[in-house]
Amino acid sequence: MNWIEDFIDYLRYERNYSRRTAEDYQADLEAFRRFYEEIDKDLSWAEMPTDIVRQWVVEMMDKGNAATSVRRRLSSLRSFYKFLLRRKLVSRDPVHNMPGPKVEKRLPSYVRETEMDRLFDGDFFGDGYQGCRDRMILLTFYSTGIRLSELVGLDDKDVDLDQMQLKVTGKRNKQRIIPYGDEFGDSLRSYLGERNAFTAQNTAGDKALFLDERSGRRMTPAKVRTIVKKYLSMVTTQQRNSPHVLRHTFATAMLNHNADLQSVKELLGHESLSTTEIYTHTTFEQLKEMYNQAHPRAKTKGGNYGNQNSGNSL
């Protein structure tokens, strides 16, 4: 009996994980199996010493793996053992209470509001279906904060023009409703007009909201990434210009305009509020920057922050 295959089937068909996610779990578990078999071929999942798991973590770090990658693989192993314990295939969990390597928190990248205004108010998008579609893709990311996979998966039936809302299918097939405003609604109607004119001459008959201009079928994630990078590069000099950056940009803009954290959590489809809280750090950093630019006493004439006589104590 192959316990890894049983676990992957459980993830796919009972937990509704995507094929790609399940394959990532499988790769992590196979990597650990190869590791412990090189140490001792007589070792088994049921009699795994905690020290072997600890050695695996140390080896991965010594090889230069990022702490985030090591923590993910350790998490895969932890989930696997929880599954084995529930099925009573093992009697103990060697990963229990084992901490992963510390990860340095990195603030999410986002595009400034002025740069996004310049993008949508400027003349960056061409005429016709392709230009209208590209603008609508960027506006959808910025106005709703949805993930790349969620945007690519949108169908016509997910759009409610009367109620001004989108039905989005997120991770693990969980659905949520996202409202949108007047500007987005007007742009969406214009886009659908262009799109319907395009599909009238196209026989693909795909029900996807966003269609490839060549095949007439649902757009691929790679194509959408290319489009986003192309247009963001026109208005910002930052290195990261991906759909996920626009998700960060949406969350940051909402909080900067006084949205409460719980509402942003629901809009983003986060399971935990702690996941959303990282954006409060982003907005605080922006607040500090605005303060330093605006307050007359934020900087001294020499360009140093604070009191020049910092050596004098009270």
Residue boundaries of the structural domains of the chain: 3-86, 113-293
The catalytic residue among 279, 295, 299, 301 is 279
Topology match between the domains 3-86 and 113-293? no
Whether 80 contacts 9, CB under 8 Å:
no
The catalytic residue among 147, 195, 218, 248 is 147
Burial 187-198 (b: 16+ CB within 10 A, else e): bbeebbebbeeb
Determine whether 247 is an active site residue: yes
- Per residue in 89-101, pLDDT (tens digit) is 999 999 988 888 7
Whether 181 contacts 157, CB under 8 Å:
no
Determine whether 147 is an active site residue: yes
In this predicted structure, the answer to whether residue 285 has a pLDDT above a threshold of 70 is no
Q: What are phi and psi of 251, to 5 degrees?
A: -65, -45
Ranked by mean pLDDT, the top range of 13-22, 63-72, 151-160 is: 151-160
Please give the pLDDT value at position 42: 87
Please give the pLDDT value at position 1: 57
Q: Lowest-confidence range among 132-136, 215-219, 249-253, 286-290? A: 286-290
Q: Where are the alpha helices (DSSP H) in 41-155?
A: 50-62, 67-86, 113-121, 128-144, 148-152
Closest CA to 142 of 39, 49, 248, 67: 248
The catalytic residue among 71, 167, 171, 240 is 171
Q: Lowest-confidence range among 25-34, 104-113, 275-284? A: 275-284
Query: Assign residue 216 a region: left if phi > 0, alpha if psi is -120 to 50, beta otherwise?
Result: left
Percent with pLDDT over 90 in the chain: 62
In this predicted structure, the answer to whether residue 165 has a pLDDT above a threshold of 90 is yes
Please give the pLDDT value at position 100: 80
Structurally, at CATH architecture level, domain 3-86 sits in Orthogonal Bundle (1.10)
From CA 163, how far away is CA 63, in angstroms rounded? 53
For tokens 């950056």, name the residue: 245
- pLDDT grade for 308, boundaries at 50, 70 and 90: very low
Determine whether 279 is an active site residue: yes
pTM (predicted TM-score): 0.63
Whether 245 contacts 109, CB under 8 Å:
yes
In this predicted structure, the answer to whether residue 6 has a pLDDT above a threshold of 70 is yes
- pLDDT grade for 239, boundaries at 50, 70 and 90: confident
In this predicted structure, the answer to whether residue 17 has a pLDDT above a threshold of 50 is yes
- Quick one: 113-293 is in which CATH superfamily? Intergrase catalytic core (1.10.443.10)
Tell me which H or E stretch contains 175: strand 175-179
In this predicted structure, the answer to whether residue 108 has a pLDDT above a threshold of 50 is yes
Determine whether 171 is an active site residue: yes
In this predicted structure, the answer to whether residue 61 has a pLDDT above a threshold of 70 is yes
Determine whether 225 is an active site residue: no
From CA 57, how far away is CA 29, in angstroms rounded? 13
In this predicted structure, the answer to whether residue 232 has a pLDDT above a threshold of 90 is yes
In this predicted structure, the answer to whether residue 30 has a pLDDT above a threshold of 80 is yes
- pLDDT grade for 312, boundaries at 50, 70 and 90: very low
The catalytic residue among 78, 118, 223, 270 is 270
Average pLDDT value over all residues in the chain: 87
From CA 218, how far away is CA 28, in angstroms rounded? 31
Please give the pLDDT value at position 204: 64
The catalytic residue among 73, 135, 247, 248 is 247
Please give the pLDDT value at position 223: 97
Q: What are phi and psi of 40, to 5 degrees?
A: -160, 110
Closest CA to 35 of 70, 6, 83: 70
- pLDDT grade for 290, boundaries at 50, 70 and 90: low
Q: What share of the chain is helix, strand, coil (3-state, %, to 5)?
A: 55, 5, 35
The average pLDDT across 215-239 equals: 94
Closest CA to 184 of 244, 126, 124, 138: 138
In this predicted structure, the answer to whether residue 296 has a pLDDT above a threshold of 80 is no
